[in-house]
Amino acid sequence: MSERPPELPEPFKIKMVQKIRLHPREKRKELAEKSGYNVFMLKAEDVFIDLLTDSGTSAMSDHQWAGMIDTNQAYAGSQSFYSLENAMKDIFGFKHFVPVHQGRAAENILFSTIVFPGSYVPNNMHFDTTEANILRNEGTPVNLAIEDAYDTSKVSAFKGNMDTKKLDQFIREKTPSKIPLIMVTVTNNSAGGQPVSMQNVKEISAIAKKHNIAFFIDACRFAENCYFVKQREEGYKGKSIKEIARELFSYADGCTFSAKKEALTNIGGMLCTNNDELFEKLKNLTIVVEGFTTYGGLACRELEAMAIGLYEAIDEEYQAYRHRQIEYLASLLRAGGVPIVEPPGGHAVFVDAKEFLPHIPAEQFPAQALTVQLYIESGVRGVEIGSSCFGKTDEKGRLIPARMELVRLAIPRRAYTDNHLKYVAECLIRLYRKRNQIVGLKRVYAPRLLGHFTARFEPVA
């Protein structure tokens, strides 16, 4: 009988380590109270395993560090800018780009240029900063994800897709003149890191062209999405991730990109387009708000790290390891009965807090309550993706809850081992067994835009 070959381990070895420490439980409880029961307000040194975000938390490679040291620093025309331009054109294929300090800066520049009061921006699902930048420019963000995206237990290959029938109907109702652009987010972070199919992107692109509307991709996790396409969509198994990426971007007029995800850097981003006239406007605003167009608010060494990191992110061995690690954490939680978004996404495991804490109503922020309690119990920091992040308020100030209450356990790239994730799973399973002891939270402060970052809470008596 032939034996099954063992799964490949991480395609790297650890070259440098950083000490982490676990405070006693009483200390963690005290810190949670002082933070206003908001884990964003904790000091990083007080967190044992930090799964708050996969943005800017990657461990960079020796090649990235070497490139950062080797490149020159120049206000205009540094060699690292041209390294990044070559990588962008090779992988993304767009005609123009400007570097920016992170993805939300790209959103700010793009939406400040083309979104206008009374306009609408449809997406599969906007994430928090995308939504906020549209609202700041007096536009209306609209989510048109397929209904499967909201069913956390349903196993489907491409739950991140946009409902193209709803999109076409929405454009006809509002008229194309009120829609400056259509976006699609790959992968769909708000729905649990779910991928978008190539077929769906083609259909969105065709609708955009039919109505003469610009089509942009929020591309911060493009390589993970392309890996899903390779694994799950017919006709792509024999293609490289770069080939799939080139096809993906060929359907769009441009993209926003946070390099803090899939350029494997700690800072950086890009704003890309094929439109000559639009690029002139984007370029001029970039100079005003970010810096000259060949450094975009960054030290030139960061541009070099981005250029190298883009190629590391599309390496198939790396992507296989990345997805295996996400699935490993998901499998441990699944075996322990913890309700998660199925199937797991490409950058995180999302816990369904509605199912985890059915005794806590949405008005008491169950996902926030679970996030805080997880820190108190284990020193692990996740993040709430629920009614604190995406809830609205009506004209009387009452909460309109989000459709899903999720806790995201985002896995920093190349930073934690399987043993770290085993600890996370064991602590969360232990917490699940005594979930009835967890109480809800009352929100006592939150700004209007992106309020979840600095909100403060109190336990419900």
pLDDT at 143 over 90: yes
- Over residues 198-223, the pLDDT tens digits come to 999 999 999 999 999 999 999 999 99
Q: Own/partner pairs for 287-291, CB < 8 Å, 24+ apart?
A: 289/105, 289/108, 289/109, 290/98, 290/100, 290/101, 290/105, 290/109
Domain membership flag for residue 292 = yes
Domain membership flag for residue 9 = no
- Could you tell me what percent of the chain has a pLDDT over 90? 95
Question: 313: which 2 tokens?
Answer: 């992110």
Domain membership flag for residue 8 = no
Answer yes or no: do 340 and 434 share one domain. yes
Q: What is the mean pLDDT of residues 143-170?
A: 98
Domain membership flag for residue 5 = no
What gap in Å lies between CA 62 and CA 68, rounded to an integer?
10
pLDDT at 1 over 60: no
Answer yes or no: do 119 and 223 share one domain. yes
Answer yes or no: do 112 and 251 share one domain. yes
For the chain, how many residues are written? 461
Under DSSP, is residue 58 helix (H, G, I), strand (E, B) or coil? coil
Answer yes or no: do 216 and 355 share one domain. no
Answer yes or no: do 281 and 348 share one domain. no
Residue 31's domain is classified under what CATH number?
3.90.1150.10
CB 211 within 8 A of CB 177: no
Cite the DSSP H helix spans in 51-149: 62-70, 79-91, 103-114, 128-136
- Over residues 263-295, the pLDDT tens digits come to 999 999 999 999 999 999 999 999 999 999 999
Pick the closest to residue 95 from 221, 259, 255, 224 (CA basis).
Answer: 255
CB 72 within 8 A of CB 79: yes
For the chain, the average pLDDT equals: 96
- Over residues 220-271, the pLDDT tens digits come to 999 999 999 999 999 999 999 999 999 999 999 999 999 999 999 999 999 9
Residue 138 domain boundaries: 62-313
CB 117 within 8 A of CB 441: no
Answer yes or no: do 329 and 391 share one domain. yes
Using N-to-C axis directions, what is the helix angle for 300-313 and 316-335, rounded to 10°? 70
- Could you tell me what percent of the chain has a pLDDT over 70? 99
pTM across the whole model: 0.96
Q: Own/partner pairs for 442-448, CB < 8 Å, 24+ apart?
A: 442/364, 443/365, 443/388, 444/36, 445/36, 446/388
Domain boundary among 282, 313, 344: 313
Answer yes or no: do 262 and 293 share one domain. yes
Domain membership flag for residue 199 = yes
Domain membership flag for residue 16 = no
pLDDT in the model for residue 4? 66
Cite the DSSP H helix spans in 276-365: 276-289, 300-313, 316-335, 353-356
Answer yes or no: do 272 and 353 share one domain. no
Domain membership flag for residue 293 = yes
Answer yes or no: do 30 and 69 share one domain. no
Answer yes or no: do 229 and 335 share one domain. no
Domain boundary among 260, 280, 313: 313
Pick the closest to residue 37 from 284, 373, 366, 343 (CA basis).
Answer: 373
Answer yes or no: do 334 and 254 share one domain. no
- Over residues 175-202, the pLDDT tens digits come to 999 999 999 999 999 999 999 999 999 9
- Number of domains, the chain: 2
Question: 11: which 2 tokens?
Answer: 């395609």
What gap in Å lies between CA 170 and CA 149, rounded to an integer?
19
Domain boundary among 257, 280, 313: 313
pLDDT in the model for residue 2? 57
Residue 69's domain is classified under what CATH number?
3.40.640.10
